[in-house]
Amino acid sequence: MKQARTLALTMLALWPVCGTAADSGSLEGAIKATFLSRFAGFVQWPAGSAENGPFVLCAVGDDAVTALMDRAAAGQRAQRRPIVVRHLQQVSPADGCNTAYLAGSAVQSAGAAAAALRGSAVLTVTDGENHPDVPAVIKFVIADGRVRFDVDDAEAAGAHLVISSRLLDLARNVRKRP
């Protein structure tokens, strides 16, 4: 309940992404980075896949969001475990990511990263503006001047993840499971 309230308050408190380009970019990145550390509270992983050790939040590539993920996750917990951020230039299921933000890099595009993780129990997240065709469970979008997100519950099913109805209710759009 506390996590739902926190995410809901964060959603309601989202400032419009406006002002100077530098201000809006850093605010937008900070909001997205904060969401990344909060999404895990609304996802159920298959038994044994996300139970022990720290919760691993992977930043695959470099962009305004990956630069802010360490700060947003500092001192945070997911699934009652401390969040550890790993910065990677390429990703595979062997990297142990619970959540992976796919920004893309010179070594591995966001699409190649999504393909590498497809079918693994990893919550994949992308920026829908920069990577509209990359399959991911969650895609950040800007709607009405605010940071929002879409959820592909069919993609979540393929990753053996269950997304809470509370998170689905907050999504701008939801692609339902088959």
For residue 7, the surrounding DSSP H or E stretch is: helix 2-13
pTM for the full predicted model: 0.86
d(CA 144, CA 8): 17
Within 13 Å and on the Cβ side, how many CA atoms surround 164? 14
User: What was the pLDDT predicted at 19?
Assistant: 38
Residue 149 DSSP one-character state: E
The pLDDT value recorded for residue 8 is 43
pLDDT for the residue numbered 49: 65
- Residue 70: helix, strand or coil by DSSP? helix
In contact, 159 and 116? CB cutoff 8 Å: no
Q: Domain 2-175 is in which class? A: alpha beta
Taking only the tens of pLDDT, the chain with its 178 residues reads 455 444 444 444 443 433 333 444 578 999 999 999 999 999 999 987 656 789 999 999 999 899 999 999 999 999 889 999 999 999 999 999 999 999 999 999 999 999 999 999 999 999 999 999 999 999 999 999 999 999 999 999 999 999 999 999 999 999 999 8
- Per-residue pLDDT at 104: 95
pLDDT value of position 23: 44
- For residues 76 and 83, is the Cβ–Cβ distance under 8 A? yes
Res 79: pLDDT: 84
- Residue 5 is predicted with a pLDDT of 46
Q: How many whole angstroms separate alpha carbon 87 and alpha carbon 160?
A: 24
Q: Where are the domains of the chain?
A: 2-175
